[in-house]
Amino acid sequence: MTDRMLQGRRFVRLHHGVWGCRDDELGWDGRLQAATLALPVHAHPTGLTRIRMLGLDEGPAYPLRFVVEGDLHLDLEDVFLHRTRRLAPLDGVGVTPAAAFLAYCARARTVDAVRVGDWLLHHGHASAGEIRDLALSALWRDGADEALCVVPLLDARCRSLPESEVRVVLSLAGLPAADPNRPIELEQGITAIGDLVYREHRLVVEYEGGHHQEDRGQYVGDIDRYELFRTHGVDYVQVTRERLRQPRVLVGTVHRRLVALGYDGPAPVLGPGWLALWQPLHALLGSRAERLRRRERWLANPSQIRFG
């Protein structure tokens, strides 16, 4: 392919040295490939870009995030090139998923970090221990403090992003911890699985996404399952996308249902710790001096790492 041919109407310049057919619809994968070709081989996908490569469709697709060791300055459209003094562990595709999660946490809200972290754990791309150990081994990395802060909130048992969000909205409000995707016994030999199960109170909290209504098989299966719950004395709360947008109402609804079923524990507290869900993780860590004191505590006793 000559330079003169590339200047024709059939082609469009994507990046320096990278061209595409003008009539082709370049999706996210195509733009990622174009950016990879334009960058040096020692630039590696990181952050949400690396996580999206694993199959998660969450958060902003752009800019594409890469990281390089050392001082390199390039200006590519829809690409952000991070620089680091020492690369995080690599896996042949980019930084490892655990390292990508650290980078993601540097800019993420708490609730989004929980959603993405649960997804990584559930699909076996990383473990809480791997994330924690990587962060503790290099606390100077962007996102290390933030990742350590959120790791105690993660749960590999959640099977969907909204389910993770419902779980953490309820638990950080101070309600009893529900078990994600746990079988609940209906009668001898018959069990059913609920999204979030309060086993002691026989209450199930179910997230109803749009696919539950659009997929006829899913819709009919849900009806049958709810009938089983009713028949066997299991109460349930259905959470729609619209209800999840009103988290205060959701917490109140679940609390009232628990009380009606015999719960006599503390009422929910929708204070700073709960409101932190919708704040960037880095905003929770305070001043540099506070970060340093927290790091000293974490390094001295990793088992005492807590959210907040």
SS3 43: strand
CA separation for the pair 146, 107 (Å, rounded): 9
Could you read off the pLDDT of 176-185 as tens digits, one per residue? 999 999 999 8
pLDDT of 24 above 80? no
Q: Within 13 Å of residue 4, how many CA atoms lie on the same side as its CB?
A: 0
- Could you tell me the sign of the dihedral formed by the alpha carbons of 21, 26, 30, 35, in that order? positive
pLDDT of 211 above 80? no
Nearest to 144 by CA among 104, 116, 112, 115: 104
Q: What is the mean pLDDT of residues 24-53?
A: 92
pLDDT of 139 above 60? yes
pLDDT of 291 above 80? yes
Nearest to 102 by CA among 51, 133, 142: 142
Mean of per-residue pLDDT scores for the chain: 90
Q: What is the mean pLDDT of residues 265-289?
A: 95
Check: CB of residue 104 under 8 Å from CB of residue 141. no
CA separation for the pair 103, 143 (Å, rounded): 5
pLDDT value at position 26?
79
**Weakest mean pLDDT among 47-51, 97-101, 231-235:** 231-235
Enumerate the β-bridge partners of residue 190.
187
User: Where does residue 189 fall: left (phi above 0), alpha (psi -120 to 50 degrees), or beta otherwise?
Assistant: left
pLDDT of 80 above 90? yes
Q: What is the mean pLDDT of residues 104-115?
A: 98
Q: What is the mean pLDDT of residues 101-123?
A: 99
What is the DSSP-derived secondary structure letter of residue 131? H
**Weakest mean pLDDT among 6-15, 60-69, 169-178, 227-236:** 6-15
SS3 197: strand
Domain residue ranges in the chain: 3-153, 174-268
pLDDT value at position 303?
85
Phi–psi pair at 236, nearest 5 degrees: -150, 150
Q: Exposure of 157 by Cβ count < 10 A (0-12 exposed, 13-18 middle, 19+ buried)?
A: middle
pLDDT of 128 above 60? yes
Per residue, the 3-state secondary structure of 60-116, as one string, reads CCCCEEEEEECCCCCCCCCEEEEEECCCCCECCCCECHHHHHHHHHCCCEHHHHHHH
Ranges 2-11, 155-164, 294-303, most confident:
155-164
CA separation for the pair 117, 186 (Å, rounded): 32
